[in-house]
Chain A
């Protein structure tokens, strides 16, 4: 049973465009939602995270939008660059458990 569903599986965006990756969850006990970025052959790197008491968090070109009632959250990458080409994972956490990850989105930013 997949607790965090991520879409799309892959995404191609033009340089300078906006990349949007979506995640949906089922467990309302989740209280922390991070996004990780992973380059080939590397471990996941924490990118940005949000808690359900806020609807949006922005860090540089990266923004998380959070919709508690819909149990959905998304990552927006503004002004996407070729260096952003990587696999992105959403995850969810509740106290006493490990992170539960989505299946990932492979982003390719074309120049």
Chain B
């Protein structure tokens, strides 16, 4: 399978715990995006990387959120001190920089904070 992969697919955690999600983009895609999707809404942009550089962060990305892409390949999204409002589907997408608008999404990680 050469598509975008995400792990885990589902995560249940208690409020206050830290969680980390992983995204593996399509091979040779140098742009990687994180989005959040809540029930009944479209995906909302969180942040994106070009290679290992984090180029933009949304105001939705509070201080409790941090994302990395250390080697320009896979990326991790960590949420510290989770809150019930963090419950959502976290989606990763990738593209090539020359066609940045053509983004391919992974299956998402569904987070439930109890």
Residues of A within 8 A of B (CB): 6, 31-32, 34, 36, 41-46, 49, 89, 91, 93, 95, 97-104
User: Are the C-beta atoms of B107 and A42 separated by less than 8 Å?
Assistant: yes
User: Are the C-beta atoms of B42 and A42 separated by less than 8 Å?
Assistant: no
Chain B's nearest CB lies how many Å from the CB of A105?
Answer: 10
Instruction: Name B30-84 residues within 8 Å CB distance of A.
Output: 33, 35, 40-45, 48, 56, 58
How many Å lie between the Cα of A65 and that of B106 in the bound state?
27
Q: Which residue of B lies closest to A9 (CB)?
A: B40
User: Are the C-beta atoms of A103 and B102 separated by less than 8 Å?
Assistant: no
Main DSSP-derived SS at the B contact region = loop
Contact of B111 with A by CB under 8 A: no
Instruction: Knowing that A32-B101, A42-B107 touch, tell me 8 more A-B residue pairs with CB under 8 angstroms.
Output: A41-B107, A42-B108, A43-B6, A43-B106, A43-B107, A93-B100, A98-B33, A103-B42
Contact of B13 with A by CB under 8 A: no
User: Are the C-beta atoms of B40 and A104 separated by less than 8 Å?
Assistant: yes
Identify which of A32, A46, A89 contacts B42 (C-beta below 8 A): A89
How many Å lie between the Cα of A46 and that of B26 in the bound state?
14
Contacts of B101 in A (CB 8 A): 31-32, 34, 49, 93, 99
Chain A's nearest CB lies how many Å from the CB of B87?
Answer: 15
How many Å lie between the Cα of A6 and that of B40 in the bound state?
12
User: Are the C-beta atoms of B42 and A91 separated by less than 8 Å?
Assistant: yes
Contact of B105 with A by CB under 8 A: yes
Contacts of A99 in B (CB 8 A): 43, 45, 101, 103
Contacts of B102 in A (CB 8 A): 34, 46, 49
User: Are the C-beta atoms of B40 and A43 separated by less than 8 Å?
Assistant: no
Contacts of A46 in B (CB 8 A): 102-105
How many Å lie between the Cα of A3 and that of B108 in the bound state?
24
Chain A's nearest CB lies how many Å from the CB of B55?
Answer: 9
